[in-house]
Structure 1
Amino acid sequence: MPRFIARNIVKFVLLLLAVSLVAFTLVSVSPIDPVQANVGQAALVNMSEAKRAQLAEYWGANTPLWERYANWLTAFVQGDLGMSLRYNAPVADVIAARALNSLALMATAWAASGVLGFALGILAGANRGRLVDRIVKGYCFLLASVPTFWLGLVFLVVFSVQLGWFPFGFSVPIGVSAADVTLADALHHLALPALTLSVVGVANIALHTREKTIDVLESDYVRFARARGLSTWGVLRHHGLRNLALPAITLQFASISEIFGGSVLVEQVFSYPGLGQAAVTAGLGGDVALLAGIAVFSAAFVFAGNFIANVLYGVVDPRMRKGAGRA
C-alpha cells in the first residue's frame, strides 16, 4: 500500500507538470494576439507604439515561453496561481468563484447518468433481443453520436423557448442580487444544463453494463441458481449485482474526464458561469495564468476520480487489494 500511494503521488506531480506545460505551450503557439483580443482591433490601430509595448509587456506577449513557465511554476510551488489578466483578479479567486457552479453541474449530471445508465444496462441485458433491449441500444447509439452542444441547443429551443419550462441560461435569474437568489432559483437554472450533460453520458455505462449483464446471465453459477427456481431478476439481485457493480464503478469514475469536457460545451451553450466558460474566455483572450490554473485544477479533479475508482475497485474485488499490497 505505501508503494501504491507513493507511485500515485509521483504520477500526480508529473501529470500537473505536463498539463501546465502543455497549457503554456498552446497559448504560446496560438495565433491569437492577447493584446488585440482584449483591447479590440480598432483601439489597437489608434494606439501609440509606447502604449502597445506597455500592454504587450503586461500580457507577456514578448516574454519567452520558458521564462513565463519558470516564473509561473515558481509561484505555483509557493501556492500562488498568478493573476488573471482577463478578470483582473487572482486566478485562485476566479477558480473558487466558478468551481462551485461547475462542480454542482458535473456532480448532478454524473450521478444521474450513472444511475440511469446502470439501470438501463441491466434492463437491456436481462431482456436481450427483445423490444426493450433494442430501444435501449438504439437510444445509446444515437446519443453516443450526438454532439453535446447540438443537444443543448435543441433542449434550449424545446424546453426554454417553446415550452418555457426552464430559463434560457445563466446560473441565477437576471437582475436578482446574489443575496436574494434562493436554492430553488439555482436548481431551476441548473436543471436543463445538467439534463443535457447527463443524457449524453448515459450511453457508455449502459452499453457496458448490458454486456456484463449478458455475461453474468450466461455464467454457470447463474444457470445453477435458475435450476433451483430463482427468476432472472432474483438471480441478478442476489448473485449478479456485485459483479455488475465492479465495471460500472470503474466506468463511472473514469467518465469524470468526459463529464468535465462536456461541461465546457454545455456551459457555453447555456451561458453557465463555470470553469468551462472561464477556460474558453482565457483561451480566446490569451490569459495563460488562468488557463493553466483551470487546466491544473481539472487534471487534479480527473486524477482524483481515477484514484477513487482504483480504491473502490479494491473494495469490491479483494484480489485487487492483494495485488496492491504486493506492488
Structure 2
Amino acid sequence: MSRIRGFEAKIQKELLQTHRNGWDENCEKKSEGQSCYTKDDAEKQQIAELVSKLPRLDKIFTVHRKIGEGTFSSVYLGSLRAHSPLPDASKRWFAIKHLVPTAHPARIEHELRCLRDIGGKNNVIGVDLCLRNLDTIVFVMPYIPHRKFSEYVGEMDAVELAAYMRALLIALRHVHSFGVIHRDVKPSNFLYDRENRRLGLHGSSFLSYTIREVASKRLYRAHEPPAPQTLADLLGTGPLQRAAEALGRRLVTSSPRRGLCLRKLCARLRGPPPPAAPGAKACALCRLPRPHCLCRDEAVPAAEWREGAGVAGFPDCAFALAARLLEPDPRRRPSAAQALAHPFLAEARP
C-alpha cells in the first residue's frame, strides 16, 4: 500500500505542477497573429511521430509524456494498453527509451547486451523489451518514480545517506563483476524513489574493459568528466597534478588552488556559519574569519577520521569515505567492493 500511496502522491504533485506552469509559461508564439504552440504540443507531436514509426509500440503501450532527454536518447512514461481501465495506482509503469537514429549500431547492441545480462538485480535497472523498426529503436524498462537529487539531498540524514551510498556501491560492484564500468555515474542516473526506498542505476553508458585496458590506465576514464577547474576548487590543484603525473600526464592550471575542507563545506551547506567573535583571527589564506573559512587543513589527512567526532549530524568517517572516493588517482581510489567495507557503510547496516 505504501508504494501505491507514494505513486499517487507523485502523480498528483506532477499534475498540480503542470497546472501551475500554466498556458502562458509554455506558450511560444512563432510570430504575431499565430496561435500558441506549447511544450505539451511539441511532446505530443514527438510521441505521435514515435508511434507512427513504431506501430508495435502503440499496440502494446500507451505513451503518456516525456520524462527525460539526453544526448543519445529521449525517455517517455508508458503503461500497458491492457491496463488502461485500471486506476493509475494499479497500472504497471515503464520508462520507454527512444534512441536517437544516429547512434552507432555497435553501441546500441552493446548497451542492450549489458542491460540484459547485468540489469534486473542488485539495484541495476534491466530491460523488459526492445522494439525496432528500421532506424527506430526503443528499450522498455521498469519505471522508478523519483525526484530530482537537489530536492532531497539537503534533507538526508546520516542513516539515509549511508543506505543510498550502499545501494549505489552494490550496483557498481555488480556491474564491475561483469568486467564492465559505468562511465556516467551521477545522481540523475541513479533513480531514488524516496517514499518506498527503491533505487536503480541506469546503464546508459556501460563500457567493457579488459585486464590489458586496466593496465594501460584506461579504467575510470570519465565519459562526461567535470571541468578540471571544478575539481581543482574542491580537491586542490596539488592532488590533481600528482594523479596526472602518476598516469604519465601533465596538468597545467592557470593558478594553484588549495582545495576545500569537506567537513567545513558540509557544515556551511547545512546551515549558516556561526557569527565571528569580535577580534577573531582571520585565515591567512582566504582572509575570512575562522568560522567562515572553508580552506583545507593539510595537517589533517582528509581520509582519516576521529572516533566519536562528527559535523552537521554526520559521523567523521562519512567525510573520510567521501575523501577516499574523490581520490583522483584511480589506482589509489577504493573499488566499489572495498568501499562497501568502510566503517561508515558497514556500521550503519540495519
TM-score by length of structure 2 reads 0.22
Q: Which has the higher strand share?
A: 2
Q: Which has the higher helix share?
A: 1
TM-score by length of structure 1 reads 0.24
